[in-house]
Amino acid sequence: MISSKAQLRTDTNKVNLKGTFLQGKNHDLPTMLWFSDLVEPAENFEAFFRQEGNKILDVRNVWLLNIRNMGDSDHHESFDMADISADIHRFMDQ
């Protein structure tokens, strides 16, 4: 089932990754990418990063990203590592 916010793409080079940006304690922190797994979308990990005692947001901003065919990210029939890697490169270039 495709999320109502995701699109089914026919061109693998137009697949867009979507997720949630978590701002760290300072605006000039490096950014970490956190990807969903094949079981649950990346948004389910937001509580982990915001829980008391978790120090990650003290030193990093975090993008909780869904890979293609997960959550709100675009869907495509191809799900191979080369395409997933290309999606990540496009996201980082944006």
Domain ranges of the chain: 12-93
User: What pLDDT is recorded for position 55?
Assistant: 94
DSSP annotation of 12 reads G
pTM for this model (two decimals):
0.84
Q: Which residue, 2, 5, 12, is CA-closest to 79?
A: 12
User: How many Å is the Cα radius of gyration of the chain?
Assistant: 14
Q: How many residues does the chain have?
A: 94
User: What pLDDT is recorded for position 84?
Assistant: 94
Residues 29-78 pLDDT 10s: 999 999 987 778 898 899 999 999 899 999 999 999 999 999 889 999 99
Whether residue 64 contacts residue 94, with contact meaning beta carbons closer than 8 Å, is answered with no
Does the pLDDT of residue 1 top 80, yes or no? Answer: no
